[in-house]
Amino acid sequence: MGKLLLKLRGLFHILLRSDLTYMKVLKGIISLIVPIAIGLLLGLGLKQYVISANFVHGGSMAPNLKTGQVLTTYRLMDIKHNSVIIFNAHGEDPQATNKTELYVKRVIGLPGDTVESKNGQIYVNGKAINQSYISYYQRTKGTGNWDLESLSTSWQHNQNVSRVPKGKYFVLGDHRTISNDSRYWGFVDKDKVNGVTKAFPFQKNHQKVNDEEAVN
């Protein structure tokens, strides 16, 4: 009987040690997984609601932005005159058949603005704006002469308007001669905007992208 009790006691200690080892391993796994899970959730939350990274594709914003350049997009940043934005072009540009197709353009007109291009100058609410971020050729022949009312006659929506409607933006690419922008298909709805995008400080021409005040 005594030998049996000793054997049972030994078995109990083995099971106890095994259980303690199991719990130690489990705690180690949990301590590793939890921070990773929290990091992933925070990362997804930041991407969806605060900040995301995007790549430039195409030359419509050249020379200030080039294909392959990495941009940081801020979803909560206020949109101002000359802000460079990224938006979903599907439903805005008839040629954007991909439902997730993104465009990057510069905001020229805010809701309520009048916008006119004449002889190399763009007038917003009757006041000439600074376009030092692009060349003389792009300001003149690249942009053309027009106002919102004349442009809108060829659009599918918002025809015969003289001002940028509420909740909309008028956008242009910096490389005006090739840019497919608001001149050809109309305004960008605010709900389509992913956010204001910024170039990294070490990238060429970053001030012409990042600093709205410098180009006002």
Q: Is 105 a catalytic residue?
A: yes
Classify the C-alpha dihedral 199-201-206-209 as positive or negative. Answer: positive
Q: Are 142 and 177 in contact (CB under 8 A)?
A: yes
Instruction: Identify the pLDDT of residue 72.
Output: 84
- Classified as helix, coil or strand, 207 is helix
Q: How far apart are the first and last CA of the chain?
A: 96
Written as tens digits, the pLDDT of the chain (216 aa) is 555 444 545 544 544 455 545 455 445 555 556 455 544 444 555 555 567 778 888 999 999 888 888 888 888 899 999 999 999 999 999 999 999 999 999 999 999 999 999 999 999 999 999 999 999 999 999 999 999 999 999 998 888 899 999 999 999 999 999 999 999 999 999 999 999 998 776 666 666 565 555 455
Looking at residue 12, its pLDDT comes to: 46
- Choose which CATH entry (2.30.40.10, 2.40.50.140, 2.10.109.10, 3.40.220.10) describes domain 51-215: 2.10.109.10
- How confident is the model at residue 28, as a pLDDT? 54
Q: How far is CA 62 from CA 68, 161, 162, 175, in A?
A: 12, 29, 29, 5
162 is catalytic: no
- Tell me what pLDDT residue 69 has: 87
Q: Which of 47, 52, 60, 190 is catalytic?
A: 60
| Dist CA 75 CA 80 (whole Å) | 13
Identified catalytic residue from 31, 99, 105, 204:
105
**pLDDT for res 167:** 97
